[in-house]
Structure 1
Amino acid sequence: MEVQNLESTKARQAMGTKGLSSRDRVRVTNDYFQKIYRRLSLITVLIPFIGTVFAIALLWYVPIGAVEVGLLVGMYALTILGVEVGFHRLFSHRAFETTTPVRVALAILGSMAAQGGVTFWVAHHRCHHQYTDLPNDPHSPHLHGEGIRGRLRGLWHSHLGWVLKGEIPNSMLFAKDMLRDPAIAKVNQWQQYWVILGLVIPAVIDGLISRTWMGVLLGLLWGGLVRVFLGQQVINATNSLCHVYGSRPFKSGDRSTNNLWLAIPSFGQSLHNNHHAFPSSAIVGLKWWQIDPGNWVVWILKATGLAWNVKMPSESQMEAKRAV
């Protein structure tokens, strides 16, 4: 899906949603579904947070070892890879093409991050691009008043408030291709089971290695709940911090920024101004010194013949959008 340019976005925004059919509205307005989603969102946010607090408190009694650190880093890398390379670059922006097994694997890994199913994530993200920093953007930090209070309210909303608000993007408008893809639709249908599997795998691995129930608990905590909590904060920081603080080397028509210090944990997603300037690019690190782990994964897939039609902007396209 190609996102509209700023002018067409503003024109559509000025029109609002009056006169649109229910399937063309930006969000689902069913109160029952919104109530269910708010409850699920609270559970998805609260349980990893409680698990992280418990894991930290448990350090006073049971220190973690190399196995727990390895599970935390390994599971984090795999699931954020699924979010950034899969949910974001492949499914949301069609920045490259790949085989069905790779698509399914990326969709499952992204689902394990507990940031919503692939269809929900894609619909939200495409809505964000179509209305970036304008009304109808689901998580802009710039629509909540002026001054320090308005800035703080905006940062809270863009980081976590939007998740808890219970708004459901219209998948028939923003992610119809996901609904029509049989393999991805099946992965999406099993979303809750992939989240559970992402918690069970590190618990089982640690339990088998340590041969203790304490190992099972530590694996669940560090490779599961702490990993989910950290992943949520890093990706949400792109919505909040990366629309307020950082550099803007390109004219993107919005207030997206680059933040190098988040580049590694976000797999390159924090190079957000680059991304908003060239949303269909599979490569976000456009300079040699911009760290983009997602780029490394895409190029490995391309080198092994598992990815093709990898999109990236030309030098002339980058020069045309370079900020003065």
Structure 2
Amino acid sequence: MAILIFFVLHWYLSLFVQTFFLHRYAAHKMFTMNPFWEKAFYLLTYTAQGSSFLSPRAYAILHRMHHAFSDTERDPHSPHYSNNAFTMMWKTKTIYNDVLNHRVEPERRFDGDYPLWPALEKIGDSKISRIGWGVAYVLFYIAFATQWWMFLLLPLHFLMGPVHGAIVNWSGHKYGYQNFDNNDKSRNSLFFDFLTGGELFQNNHHKLPNRVNFGVKWWEVDPTWPVIWTLDKLSIIKLKPVKVKAARSKVAA
């Protein structure tokens, strides 16, 4: 039981920081926060993702590229230019590392306006940190696993961040339905998106990239939205007012 609880907690905490801090804050700046809370959520992102920590800077740049080049050859992670999810992940990893290590210069429109904490990024990307987190996961399993099959969950802990990204980008651009014609292949994969924190409402998000609530229809539940709404009411973050032009839906509202 302890192993399953640990896995679920790690899954959803890692998922939260990815959709809340990396995606909606670092890449899109849907809301603002003061320097204290930015550092606090930065540290939470490192702790939650552990061995698979993703740089907010590199994540933001790649995600902005994804929106600009959605489902074209220049998209960093389109399933339509990879044979399977693993080759897509490897392609993404290569581009991510090039951006992270400044081996390529991103277009000016994709660069800037994201949180930076060079010291923590250096720690998070170090082999010592990644291996250290991995060892901690293994030791926890050794101490609490009661069945051999539980150890099969360890690779998901090691690669939690990239796994979440692969699920969203593969499924969200191949399977499901469309509310909007975005001139790409983005899809809404789940009616009630509790498995990926709202991230699988990709079609909605590509049409309305600055909308904080990824659900559009009344039955499209974005579980991260109530958390963001609460943080705004507590003055931990401040939502930005967004003016959205009326969009023509392909299906009846």
TM-score tier, shorter chain, comes to: 0.7 to 0.9
Task: State the partner residue of 1:226.
Answer: 156
Greater share of helix residues, 1 or 2? Answer: 1
Task: State the partner residue of 2:42.
Answer: 107
Match of 1:215 among 143, 158, 167: 143
After superposition, give the CA deviation of every residue in 1:12-43 in whole Å (9 maximum; x if it has no partner): xxxxxxxxxxxxxxxxxxxxxxxxxxxxxxxx
Runs of 4+ in structure 1 deviating by more than 6 angstroms, as ranges, are none
Q: Aligned in 2, Cα 1:231/1:121: closer, same or farther, shift over 3 Å?
A: closer
Query: What is the SS of the residue equivalent to 2:8?
Result: helix
User: Residues of 1 paired with 2:12 and 2:171: CA distance?
Assistant: 21
After superposition, give the CA deviation of every residue in 1:61-82 in whole Å (9 maximum; x if it has no partner): xxxxx22222111122111111
Match of 1:276 among 200, 203, 206: 206
Match of 2:111 among 168, 171, 175: 175
CA contact (8 A) 2:53 2:125 kept: no
Compute the RMSD of aligned alpha carbons: 3.2
Q: Percent identity of the aligned residues?
A: 21
Spell out the pairing of 1:244-255 with structure 2 (5 A cutoff). Answer: 244-255=174-185
Task: State the partner residue of 2:249.
Answer: 322
Match of 2:54 among 109, 113, 116: 116
Offset at residue 177 of structure 1 (A): 3.0
Gaps of at least 5 residues in structure 1 are 1-65, 145-152, 208-213
Task: State the partner residue of 2:223.
Answer: 293
Task: State the partner residue of 2:8.
Answer: 73
Structure-2-length-normalised TM-score: 0.77
Letter in 1 for 2:2: V
Letter in 2 for 1:186: A
Residue 117 of structure 2 is aligned to residue 184 of structure 1? yes
Task: State the partner residue of 2:72.
Answer: 134
Letter in 1 for 2:125: Q
Task: State the partner residue of 1:94.
Answer: 29
User: Residues of 2 paired with 1:238 and 1:117: CA distance?
Assistant: 18
User: Residues of 2 paired with 1:313 and 1:157: CA distance?
Assistant: 38
Query: What is the SS of the residue equivalent to 2:37?
Result: helix
Letter in 2 for 1:227: H
User: Number of residue pairs matched?
Assistant: 236
Query: What is the SS of the residue equivalent to 1:142?
Result: helix
Gaps of at least 5 residues in structure 2 are none
Q: Aligned in 2, Cα 1:189/1:161: closer, same or farther, shift over 3 Å?
A: closer
The higher radius of gyration belongs to 1
